[in-house]
Structure 1
Amino acid sequence: MVSPRHVVNGLRFAWTILTLWYERQIFVRSVGRCVWPNPGLNTPKAATVTHVLIVADPQIIDHRSYPDRAPVLTCITQLLVDLNLRRSWLSALRLRPDIVVFLGDMMDGGRYAMSNAEYEQYYARFQSIFSLDPHIPAYFIPGNHDTGKVTTLGKSNKFSSKAKRRYISHFGPLNSQVTISNHTFFFIDAPSLAEEAVFGPSPGGTTEFVKGYYTQLHERDPLLLFTHIPLWRSEGTSCGPNREHGTIRQGSGFGYQNTLGKPSSDLLLQTLQPSLIFSGDDHDYCEVSHSFTIAGQPRQAREVTVKSLSMVMNVRKPGFQLLSLVDPHLTQEISYSESLCLMPDQLGIYLSTYIPFLILSLLAIVIANAFHRRGHARSRRRDQWATNNSSLPRPTSAHKSSDPDVYSWTFILMGQRRRLMLNTKYFKQWLGRSNENRGFVAGVLYDIRDVAWFPLFIFFWLAWWTFR
């Protein structure tokens, strides 16, 4: 019969392996499957390849994210989500990107009214999670959760009138452009563009910024457009095989808009003539091709909607996008290439691995203790019967063996022989090794403790290592 101690030791070992694998190694393995794509395969070997890491909708949560949850559950959720984001981010940095681009919605409650001190703490938390070498440039575009009071996306006195100013002071300009490896990176404020489509362009707004690019006189390098809100597409347009749920549909609600309107999308396509488009907001992956016409000539621009990096954005496998660039002047082929990198299904780990194995562990401990107590009771009854029916008198004295709980060491110190003794009786009781005299419930509880303490120690140690 297998004793509870054997069950405890086996479960302790199994939980330790599970914890090490699912709390660290699975992230390393996931990112190990991701490789930077190779643009311009016939490009000279001496050409420099620039690697760009694109992150969408990390949307770090705060106490406003789940208003119906109890504060304790909200704190636990925030801790687990932050831990998952940190692990995914540290794993992504193993790929050694040259540049990082965030596609908006950095903080879930960034648009809400709050004190300056609270906003600074919120922003510091974002920086702590997404810590980055200062030598690696990072670019940001605003999302609807960042810049607040956007008229067409819904008014609320909960939104702060300071949201845009706070965004600019912490993340940078709302609209900007930069040249990287002779590619133009064009960053736009998509929520403001949606507002201007209804109420007309505003001075210094996104519409003016887009049209201003068209008047610039320079040789056109490939242009990559970065927008938080995806561009318009026909209803039912397929998003490709990498999408988890359905497709992107037109529509809007309080505080969000699924796609830009068709006039705004046409303005971006015909004015900027982008070679490639990256968008966010939808949280799931989507890949579509937009057709437009320039001077009677048909053109196409491919749009990739990047997956959210967060585990609580209604996708089972979060992800990010990898973009590689080579100088277009050095190749006759396409000078850019991108690929999707998927991270572990954290919710699946909790729901499909930890919880079922926890139930099996509890059942194993209960069953092992039940059979052990039953067998121990039978053994005592047999000993009692043998004692009562023995014809031999009980010995009046017996040789006393050495105590197995006492260990002693003899050594020479300062010319004298000395002995060090250690009684492990209470230590063994604390570990639950001497539970013969405990009841069934106490034995189960002690065994649960013995199984749990070591994997929990590893979990918290890995969490500390991630948060440090």
Structure 2
Amino acid sequence: MSASIFGNGPRSSRDHRSFERPSLATRFSGIVQSTARYGVASIRARGASTWVAYSREYSRARRRHRRVGWLIALLRMVLSLQNVLLLVWGLTLWWGERVVFRDSVQECSWELWENWPQEAIPHHVAFIADPQLVDPHTYPGRLWPLSSLTIFYADLYLYRTHSLLQQNLRPDTTFFLGDLFDGGREWATDKSSSPEERFKHYGNSMWMQEYRRFSRIFFDTWRLGGANSASSTRGRKIIASLPGNHDLGFGHGIQRPVVERFQKYFGEGNRVDVLGNHSVISVDTVSLSAVDQPDPQTGSSSGSDGSSQGDEVWRPAQNFLNDLQVLKARVTREELLALQGKREAYLAPHKVVDAEVPLDLNISPLPAGVDLPTIVLTHVPLYRDAGTPCGPLRERYPPSSTDPLREKDERNAIKIHRGYQYQNVLTEAISKDIVTKAGPGVTQIYSGDDHDYCEVTHRKFSGSPKEITVKTMSLAMGVRRPGFQMASLWNPIDPDSGKPTSTKASPTIQNFRCLLPDQIAIFLRYAYLFVFTLLILFVRAISRVFYPSEQSPSTPDPLLPLSHRFNDESQSSSASTATSSPSHSEHRFASRGLTGVASRASSSSPSGEMGMRPTKHVQIIGVPGVNGSNDDSRRAEWDICEKSKDKPWASTKNNIANDFQRHIPRGPLATFCYEFMSSFKWVGSITLVWYLRLIWTW
């Protein structure tokens, strides 16, 4: 007993068998099982890690896909047809309201056409003719709003072009050649009124209103160029004192109070200026023309002796011409002293004199041989024979033949005739008197009144001066390309002797005709683009009728299903037609991203199971390929037949759906109108805002 307890006795056969070595099959089976367990564990571990990596990669891919999707959506939105049209309109309006004006003025830069020596500092002059501010006198029969639009665009054109002229070209002197207003002669004063009955009710306040318009357009924009001049120590100048027939009238039609009012605000029309070592003589020829015009009171022509009672009209201009040589000498002496850095060398005598007798000022005589080149400014062109051609640069009536130019060309010439308060050219006697008394040395004449460019050489007059009739600057005066005249003056002289320092005889004046934009052509381009836009939007609207897109307003978004609850009386009939199986319905809803909704709707658990209420079958209506629905249907809706306890929620959902459906066009014509009008409003409203900004700001 004791031996077996302590293990010292003999072992039994059962104990001996339990310690025998396992068989080969047993060991092989154990190896296979352990290997299988290890392999399964390894596969599971690798699968888990692979799944984690796959999940991460899938998440990154989804994020990339979302970013790409947003980018594609953004590009689609930006590159949509409406936005492309907006871009085209924006660039076109910017070109028509900004670029074309700046380019036209920059093409006239002085350095592009001047041809002086490198050391020359020329005096730059700009001549502006016939701005003729549009007013009730211009188009008396034109009704509102066309009349107001004409005034607005005419003023806008003048404001833009003159501001660019002063800001970019910065002429040293700017001359106006008359006809500042269109109806200035018609607006009454305290002592006069218009001879035309229809304008008698316009008083002096109307003239003051036009003067403020002129100041805003020209005087205010002139300041953009600054006050300093590159060629003169006296600074830049703007001179608008030369009157035209629309400012005062013509001949004996001029009323003295109208003249006094004009001179009070613009200065004396007859004057002499020395600019760039040239004598510039301005002559009020609309008043001077009364000297050989029949007097309406006597019926006879007024002679130079002043025998007519109406000599108060032409007498100041005639006296100016008679004293012109003395005035030229005085102004020339002042200029020479200014070049020497000295003050004026004349003093008025301190004595009592008769007011009607002109003062004999003590003016030092000019050195012998001093005679600056003379330029004459007149509103009405000088006389020429009928049919004298104006040259190839005339816009309205180009020459009938350019190789060679004809000596007589009635169509290309300025017509020789007169009418109420106007005369196309001066008489031969007055023209000859002006050139004779302004000379010797008249080399250039600038005139206005005709509105179109004309260039002639007056071989009948002494010195054969060349005359340039300057184009109007207004778009409302009958020319498509308004413009202004540029002149570069350079005449180097000795300040002490007043004689030219250059030994060779060369022209001292260089001219250039600067053309401004064709506003009518700009408006026509807008009209062409407008018609093109309508055509494109028309085609787009038709295409949306036949090929509606997923985002078309006429097709509901499939991601926003429209559903409604069946009424009790309709449930029985709908339940009998419900044939969709749970798996089939789930598959259909899964394709729409609504698997959870389908699974809940298609489940038919018994009453009381898991605490859920029994539900009925689902009928899918309007989905292509389900329940035999029509593939051409444009609307997709499905209904979930379920009695919901949340009745307010269901009611709200149905109201939203009904409100959405009410705004959806159903017929082809309604769809076309909706697509066309919505696109037109989108493009038109933004384009209009951009256009208004361009025309109201400069």
Shorter-chain TM-score bucket reads: 0.7 to 0.9
Letter of the 2:274 counterpart? T
Please report how far the alpha carbon of residue 393 of structure 1 lies from its aligned counterpart in structure 2 after TM superposition: 4.7
CA contact under 8 A between 2:270 and 2:320: conserved in structure 1? yes
Q: Indicate the SS of the match to 2:90.
A: helix
Match for 1:347: what amino acid? I
Q: Which residue is 1:172 aligned to?
A: 267
Alignment correspondent of 2:522:
349
Question: Is 2:90–2:687's contact at 8 Å kept on the other side of the alignment?
Answer: yes
DSSP 3-state at the match of 2:159: helix
Q: Relative contact order, CA 8 A, sep 6+: which one is greater?
A: 1
Alignment partner of 1:163 is 2:258: yes
Deviates more, 1:75-84 or 1:212-221: 212-221
Corresponding residue for residue 216 of structure 2 = 128
**Displacement of 1:459 after TM fit?**
2.2
Shift of 1:377: 9.4
Could you tell me whether the CA contact under 8 Å between 1:20 and 1:458 is conserved in 2?
no
Residue 86 of structure 1, aligned match among 156, 159, 166: 159
DSSP 3-state at the match of 1:54: strand
**Matched residue, 1:185:** 280
Instruction: Give the counterpart of 1:241 among 384, 387, 392.
Output: 392
Richer in helix (by share): 2
1:316 aligned residue: 480
| 1:317 CA drift (Å) | 0.5
Larger of the two Rg values belongs to structure = 2
Identify which range, 47-56 or 324-333, moves more after superposition.
324-333
Structure with bigger strand share is: 1
- Offset of 1:251 from its aligned partner? 0.8
Map Cα deviations across residues 263-295 of structure 1 (whole Å, 9 max, x no partner). Answer: 11111122223210000010000110001355x
Between the aligned partners of 1:223 and 1:435, the Cα distance in structure 2 is: 79
Q: Where does structure 2 lack aligned partners over 5 or more consecutive residues?
A: 1-75, 188-201, 228-235, 294-301, 305-310, 330-365, 398-412, 494-500, 559-576, 596-662
Match of 1:417 in 2: none
Aligned ranges 1:186-205 → 2 under 5 Å: 186-198=281-293, 199-201=302-304, 202=311, 204-205=315-316
Alpha-carbon distance change, 321 to 368 in structure 1, aligned in 2, over 3 angstroms: same
Q: Deviations over 1:66-112 (max 9, x none)?
A: 11111211111111111111111122121011111000111112111
Cross-structure match for 1:359: 531
Aligned to 1:253: 419
Instruction: State the match for 1:406 in structure 2.
Output: none
Give the Å deviation of 1:210: 1.5
1:231 aligns with: 382
Flag the 1:96–1:377 CA change in 2: closer, same or farther, 3 A. Answer: closer
Alignment of 1:11-410 (within 5 A): 11-36=85-110, 41-42=116-117, 45=119, 47-93=120-166, 94-113=168-187, 114-130=202-218, 131=220, 132-133=222-223, 135=227, 136-140=236-240, 141-148=242-249, 150-151=250-251, 155=253, 162-198=257-293, 199-201=302-304, 202=311, 204-214=315-325, 218=366, 219-246=370-397, 247-273=413-439, 274-292=442-460, 294=462, 299-329=463-493, 330-331=501-502, 332=504, 333-351=506-524, 353-376=525-548, 393=585, 399=593
Q: SS of the residue aligned with 1:210?
A: helix
Q: Structure 1's 170 and 119: CA in aligned 2 closer, same or farther, altered over 3 A?
A: same
Q: Deviations for 1:326-376, whole angstroms, at most 9, x for unmatched residues?
A: 23424342222111111111111112x111221111111112111112222
Given residue 162 of structure 1, which amino acid in structure 2 is its aligned partner? P
- Aligned-pair distance for 1:207? 2.3
SS in 1 for 2:464: strand
- More off after superposition, 6-15 vs 340-349: 6-15
Per-residue CA deviations over 1:368-414 (Å, capped at 9, x if unaligned) read 11111222299999x99xxx9x975586796469xxxxxxxxxxxxx
Deviation at 1:119, TM superposition (A): 1.8
Question: C-alpha displacement at 1:303, in angstroms?
Answer: 0.3
Are the counterparts in 2 of residues 317 and 342 from structure 1 also a CA contact under 8 Å? yes
The Cα shift of 1:305 comes to: 0.5
SS at structure 2 position matched to 1:106: coil
Determine if contact 2:432/2:461 at 8 Å carries over to the other structure: no
Greater mean deviation of Cα atoms: 327-336 or 105-114: 327-336
CA distance, structure 2, for counterparts of residue 187 and residue 147 of structure 1: 16
* Residues 293 and 435 of structure 1: CA distance in aligned 2, closer, same or farther (over 3 Å): same
Contact 2:389 2:456 (8 Å CA) reproduced: yes
CA 1:461–1:30: 2 relative to 1, 3 Å: same
Quote the Cα distance in structure 2 between the aligned partners of 1:463 and 1:400: 54
Partners of 2:528 and 2:99 in 1: CA distance = 20
SS at match of 2:155: helix
Compute the displacement of 1:139 (Å): 1.2
CA RMSD of aligned residues (A): 3.3
Gaps of at least 5 residues in structure 1 are 402-433
Equivalents in 1 of 2:125, 2:470: separation in Å? 13
Task: Give me the whole-angstrom Cα distance separating, in 1, the residues matched to 2:390 and 2:374.
Answer: 22
Contact preservation (8 Å) 2:121, 2:490 = yes
Match of 1:446 in 2: 678
CA pair 209-161 structure 1, distance change in 2 beyond 3 A = closer
